[in-house]
Amino acid sequence: MKNPRQKNLPKIKLNQKGYYLADLVASLPLAVLIILAFTFVVINFLRTYEEVRLYTQLQDELFAAVETMRYGYSVDHVTGNPSDPAELKEGLIGLITANEVIIGLDHSSITLIPVILTPGLPYYSEFYLDTNNHLRASGKYGLKSFSDKLIFPTGLKKIQEKFQFRILELNFTSEKVVNDKIYLLGIQIKAQVRFREKSPKQTTEEDIRLNTKTIEYETSVFLTNAKLGTVQSVQPEGI
């Protein structure tokens, strides 16, 4: 059945294909709906893509942070430039080269003492959380040292005065100890990435559910050379 209102519309032919003004006017609402639907799909795709990208970045950076603790943190002016001959470089102090591992009282920090020490000179490295819940490293290689190097995250971008990436929980545990020697050091990390700002109408629970994503990363590091250090908050001798 034709729309009665179309009876009085002029049949203006627009081109040789036979399209008329009345036909175009009638199809406008459908065209608008198609455009809106397409726009919604594109926006939703881009939003989902960005969330997946950031969540993947969170996983990659956590893995890199654990690997840094495993093998040690390199600083050119302290441990040697990558282009230097091997005899001019310091051996990195990480979990796999540590002779002694000291777990902090709150279990969120570790101090590593390497296997070989130059007599009279302090050698150690530390991994710990700062006040912003970011993982940092400090170390001393004899007369050279570095401090507060950022390990995780790799950037300090903020969203609504909150860091986009942050660690919620960090816990070091001695999972297997035999004859006062650590064989396995457990590392549990709970970290969060923020995708966007909290809406004024959102509750805290809705904000966390819709605007953030959390990952729990758990691994164990086999320690070939390390032994159990007394859990303490004081620095090892010589530090």
- In the prediction, which pLDDT does 174 show? 87
Report how far residue 93's alpha carbon sits from residue 95's, in angstroms, rounded to the nearest whole number: 7
Q: What is the mean pLDDT of the chain?
A: 81
pLDDT tops 50 at residue 80: yes
pLDDT tops 90 at residue 6: no
Report how far residue 25's alpha carbon sits from residue 4's, in angstroms, rounded to the nearest whole number: 14
Lowest-confidence range among 125-139, 145-159, 163-177, 219-233? Answer: 219-233
pLDDT tops 80 at residue 10: no
Lowest-confidence range among 43-52, 182-191, 215-224? Answer: 43-52
pLDDT tops 50 at residue 238: no
Relative to beta strand 162-163, strand 165-178 is unpaired
- In the prediction, which pLDDT does 29 show? 73
Assign 48 a pLDDT band (cuts: 50, 70, 90).
Answer: confident
